[in-house]
Amino acid sequence: MSLAKPMMRGLLAKRLRFHLPIAFGLAFVAAVAFKYTVTEPRKRAYADFYKQYDAVKEFNAMREAGVFQSVRPSGE
Amino acid sequence: MLRQAAGHMRGLLARRASVAVTSSAVRMASQGHEVSETVDMSRPMYYDRADVPLPDKPYKDLLTDADKSLKQKEKGPWTQLSKEEKIALYRLMFCQTYPEMKQKTSEWKTVLGGIFFFLGFTGLVVWWQRIYVYPPLPKTFEGDSQAMQLKRMLDMRVNPVQGFAAKWDYEKGQWK
């Protein structure tokens, strides 16, 4: 009953050889997925918002609603 | 030197973890006691641990004559030992085999049951606290007050790009 000698060395290296490419690959895929599902839509949303943004109009609307302390609504 | 220290630490841990009373010298020293025999922890002890394969001493100390003759035979070439003799020699050195050590127990059921029991008990405690301890909620939690807070958030244009105020249609005065 002579068994084969088991692997004595290089166990971590073998595991890393297998798992490290997978880990890097998954991390890269996660980053790419995040970029195209979150950051690109967000950039587009901000661009579209500010294309038609009238700051003065928004300011006056907020002023009339009474949310500022420095300027009260024009009626008072 | 470090290896020995690590081995010693493991041995100390093992002694705290599992006490296998096999040393018959201890048994003889404590005859006539009603109290359970104390184990001399200052001497090498036997332990079954999956992560430390070779305990500090063999399992069986006191060998019968048959065992002693087997040990003598072990000093010769091992090819002359039969399968039963090899197994007998193993059982002299060790109490359990690795598969026996690694047998699954039903401990997880107890653990899970205990977790759920104490979660439930905590729920009862929290319920009692809700009724007898908590003060009344502030007026700002009521429906009208909440509506006024929401209106103020819309007036302030909170998160107008992708968030709260972005979902409100300011021309029509309703949610989009």
Q: How far A24 CA lies from chain B's nearest CA (Å)?
A: 31
Q: What is the pLDDT of residues B133-162, one digit of tens each?
A: 999 999 999 999 999 999 999 999 999 999
CATH architecture of the domain covering B48-103: Orthogonal Bundle (1.10)
A45 min Cα distance to partner chain B (Å)? 7
Mean pLDDT of all residues in B16-43: 61
A10 in any annotated domain: no
Q: Which residues contact B156 (CB under 8 A, 6 or more apart)?
A: A62, A65, A67, B165
**Confidence at B37, pLDDT banded by 50, 70, 90:** confident
Q: Count other Cβ atoms within 10 Å, centred on residue B172.
A: 8
How confident is the model over B69-126, as pLDDT tens digits? Answer: 999 999 999 999 999 999 999 999 999 999 999 999 999 999 999 999 999 999 999 9
More confident residue, B171 or A2: B171
Closest partner CB to B162 (pick from A42, A61, A67): A42
At B13 the pLDDT is 52
In a domain, A46, yes or no: yes
Contacts of A6 in chain B (CB under 8 A): none
Rounded to a whole number of angstroms, the distance between the first and last alpha carbons of chain A is: 101
The reply to whether A5 falls in a domain is: no
pLDDT, residue B94, reads 94
**Rounded Cα distance, B52 and B56, in Å:** 10
| Total domains in the fold of chain A | 1
The boundaries of the domain holding residue A54 are 37-67
For residue A23, is it within any domain? no
* Per-residue pLDDT, A21: 98
A45 touches chain B (CB under 8 A): yes
**What is the overall mean pLDDT for chain B?**
85
For chains A and B, count residue pairs whose Cβ atoms are closer than 8 Å: 18
Where residue B39 falls among pLDDT bands split at 50, 70, 90?
confident
